[in-house]
């Protein structure tokens, strides 16, 4: 009986800590209330909710420039139209990140920001991704970084609540450079 409780404790304690951190960092992360920015960037990934959230910020006049990562991908027609024609009352800048990752997006945005003199940005991504995306953008971009979450589909969120902690750990411990 004692051994069973000890085994249960050894298994349950780390799972409880992991679940709590997962909830805190990925399900309910700190989301910024976007202030005026030089640009709003929509990260590639769960495209429709992210682009919708970015466009809502543009309609609220948060920034004058919308940046879309991988917006010219032929499988993303809504972004293709914006990249080709621009937005209603705002500029649109599209780029393909190299490497094709959140780190590549942060590096690509930082280059654009240096070229254009941008000092603050609102990063739009899925809610589960805000913590890691904000960390990477702060490493690469010297200005103010605000993170805003868009609700991801349930099946995508469930997968990412499992994978995102590992990705964050790699970025926080092993891959610390921009």
Rg (CA), the chain: 18
CA 161 from chain centre, in angstroms, equals 14
The total number of residues shown for the chain amounts to 178
Whole-number percent of the chain with pLDDT over 90: 63
Mind listing the domains of the chain with CATH numbers? Answer: 30-174 (3.40.50)
Whether residue 111 has pLDDT greater than 70: yes
pLDDT, mean over the chain = 87
**Which of the four pLDDT bands, split at 50, 70 and 90, describes residue 162?**
confident
pTM of the model: 0.85
Which pLDDT does position 64 carry in this prediction? 97
Mean pLDDT score, 35-60: 96
Dist CA 175 CA 54 (whole Å): 28
Q: What average pLDDT does the segment 17-43 reach?
A: 74
Q: Comparing C-alpha atoms, which of 158, 155, 136 is closest to residue 147?
A: 136
DSSP letters along 155-173, please?
HHHHHHHHHHHHHHHIIII
């Amino acid at each position: 009986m004692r051994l069973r409780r000890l085994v249960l404790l050894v298994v349950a304690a780390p799972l409880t800590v992991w679940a709590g951190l997962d909830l805190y960092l990925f399900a309910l992360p700190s989301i910024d209330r976007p202030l005026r920015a030089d640009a709003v960037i929509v990260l590639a990934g769960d495209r429709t909710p992210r682009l919708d959230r970015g466009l809502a910020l543009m309609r609220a006049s948060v920034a004058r420039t919308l940046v879309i990562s991988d917006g010219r991908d032929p499988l993303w027609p809504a972004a293709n139209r914006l990249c080709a024609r621009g937005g209603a009352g705002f500029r649109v800048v599209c780029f393909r990140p190299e490497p094709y990752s959140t780190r590549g997006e942060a590096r690509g945005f930082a280059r654009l920001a240096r070229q254009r003199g941008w000092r603050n940005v609102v990063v739009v991504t899925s809610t589960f991704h805000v913590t890691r995306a904000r960390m990477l953008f702060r490493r690469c971009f010297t200005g103010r970084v605000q993170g805003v979450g868009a609700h991801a589909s349930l099946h995508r969120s469930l997968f990412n609540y499992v994978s995102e902690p590992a990705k964050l750990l790699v970025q926080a411990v092993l891959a610390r450079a921009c």
